[in-house]
Chains A and B, each alone.
Chain A
Amino acid sequence: MQAGLIHCHICEKLVESESIENKHKASCPRCGAAMHMRLPKSISRTWAFLIASIIMYIPANIMPIMTVQNMGKGDPHTIIGGIVVLIYEGMLPIAFVVFVASLLVPLLKMIGIALLLISVQHSWQVTPRHRTKMYRIIEFVGRWSMLDIFMISILVAMVDFGGIAKVYAGTGAIAFAAVVVLTMLASISFDSRLIWDKVR
């Protein structure tokens, strides 16, 4: 950005922008990745993924993520229902982990990305360092929400005892996986360098 240089976001090579002929289809001479001053349409793409994930967050929490059938009787439960069952059974630490990973993390992640987008669009001058740190945390924690999905896949395979006990995955699980993937795509599309561009 400064001094007529472009920084490759994959291999971190610096290339003089004048040495690149076609400004719209430039690729890095070292790794071959597409090169941009900033990721193209970063803000609108991030908004799109973010809004899609907010929409999916509703069915993810209302619809059942799995059904545990025990002796023929079974009731479908939602993410919150699963946490309540864990608390009821006295598994407090695990209940807390699931609560953080499947409820708190996606929610805070969506709020965080929205804040970053608004801060960049309104050229906030304050706390760029903190906002970069926030972006780094958001990028790191998002994946942990996949916890519930993996747990369901293990339970579905293991608990298959015909009439005695059986576990089914619910449609809420698909919506929930979509939330995790969409928020990850949102944080990947956000170009953290935008935070610093407007800071003088």
Chain B
Amino acid sequence: MGVRMISPSTMPTQNMLSFVTACGECDLLLKKEATPYGKKACCPRCGHVLSKSKKNSIDRSLALAIAGLVLFIPANTLPILRLEILGIESGATMLSGVAALFQKDMWILSIVVLLASVIVPLSKLLLVLYITLGLKLNRSFPRLANCLRWYRHINEWGMLEVYALGIIVAYTKLIDLAHVIPELGLYCFVGVLLIATFISATMDEEKFWELIEEQQRD
């Protein structure tokens, strides 16, 4: 979908609604036009990115969601870093960080960490899997629209990239204290992080909504 500004004199009528859209950030009325693949359409008034058309958006998102889910379990249960002091070893997984906070009377903090680094990223992967499967098989899975809506709602609360920076800072704080070794869990975590980033870049939400709307009509 590309855009063109609509002059105020041409107010839309009922049959115009199918090719009129509005900018999500400033509400300017715009005319839809097909956006070439790989191009972005921006609002002429405020510069908001209105749509980014992507090739094979459904297939790619589906493949990425499966890959992300496969890596998700080792990323959370295998140690990300291992520490050695005076011959004693200790490792931390993403989940043990949450558990350690919980045991030390910091349950509010542990819930925040659990949500932002485990539950929201996992839910996002599961929602993308469900939505893309439903669209790919062209079956009207129940609550497809609700799932995509929930994806939009929780999107902002997943913070894997911030967690990655947290690992780097923790690492630099520890190398002074002890011998620190990156572990397999860290590589799986980086994999999940990259996949989550690719998914946000390849998902053509505008197209997904149009497909869901078509399903609803049938």
- Name A's B-contacting residues (CB within 8 A): 1-3, 5, 7, 9-14, 16, 30-33, 70, 86, 89, 91, 94, 97-98, 101, 128-129, 132-133, 135-136, 139, 143-144, 146-161, 164-165, 168-169, 173-174, 177, 181, 184, 188, 192-193, 195-197
Docked Cα-Cα span, A113 to B80, in Å, equals: 37
Instruction: State the total of A-B contacts with C-beta under 8 angstroms.
Output: 197
Q: Is the CB of A149 within 8 A of B149?
A: no
Q: List A contacts of B85 (CB < 8 A).
A: 161, 164-165
Q: Which B-chain residue is minimally distant from A171 (CB atoms)?
A: B106
* B5 interface residue (CB < 8 Å to A): no
Against A, the Cβ 8 Å flags (1 = close, 0 = not) of B19-33 are 011101111110000
Determine how close the nearest CB of chain A comes to the CB of B133; give it in whole angstroms.
19
Q: List B contacts of A94 (CB < 8 A).
A: 168-169, 172
Docked Cα-Cα span, A197 to B26, in Å, equals: 8
Q: List B contacts of A101 (CB < 8 A).
A: 165
Q: Which of A13, A30, A86, A144 is within 8 Å of B162, CB to CB?
A: A144
Q: Which of A3, A7, A143, A151 is within 8 Å of B170, CB to CB?
A: A151
> Number of residues in B with C-beta < 8 Å to the partner?
72
Q: List B contacts of A158 (CB < 8 A).
A: 81, 83, 90-92, 170, 174
Q: Which of B80, B152, B176 is within 8 Å of A10, CB to CB?
A: B152
Report if A192-B173 is in contact (Cβ < 8 Å); known contacts: A30-B213, A153-B110, A160-B100. no
Q: Is the CB of B27 within 8 A of A196?
A: yes
Determine how close the nearest CB of chain B comes to the CB of A153; give it in whole angstroms.
4
- Name B's A-contacting residues (CB within 8 A): 8, 11-12, 14, 17, 20-22, 24-29, 45-48, 80-81, 83, 85-86, 88, 90-93, 96-101, 104, 106, 108-110, 112-113, 116-117, 145-146, 148-149, 152-153, 156-157, 159, 162-163, 165-170, 172-174, 176-178, 205-206, 209, 212-213, 216
Docked Cα-Cα span, A144 to B116, in Å, equals: 12
Determine how close the nearest CB of chain A comes to the CB of B90; give it in whole angstroms.
6
Most buried by B among A136, A149, A174, A184: A149
Q: Is the CB of A31 within 8 A of B162?
A: no
Docked Cα-Cα span, A112 to B112, in Å, equals: 25
Determine how close the nearest CB of chain B comes to the CB of A53; give it in whole angstroms.
15
Main secondary structure of the interface of B (DSSP, over half): helix
CB<8 Å pairs between A and B, sample of 13: A14-B22, A31-B209, A132-B47, A146-B159, A150-B159, A153-B97, A154-B81, A154-B97, A158-B170, A165-B178, A174-B109, A188-B156, A193-B25
Q: Is the CB of A173 within 8 A of B209?
A: no
Q: Is the CB of B163 within 8 A of A150?
A: yes
Determine how close the nearest CB of chain B comes to the CB of A22; give it in whole angstroms.
20
Docked Cα-Cα span, A140 to B39, in Å, equals: 22
Q: Is the CB of A91 within 8 A of B172?
A: yes
Q: Which A-chain residue is minimally distant from B43 (CB atoms)?
A: A132
Q: Which of B17, B21, B145, B168 is within 8 Å of A32, CB to CB?
A: B145
Q: Is the CB of A168 within 8 A of B104?
A: yes
Q: Which of B93, B97, B167, B206 is within 8 Å of A12, CB to CB?
A: B206
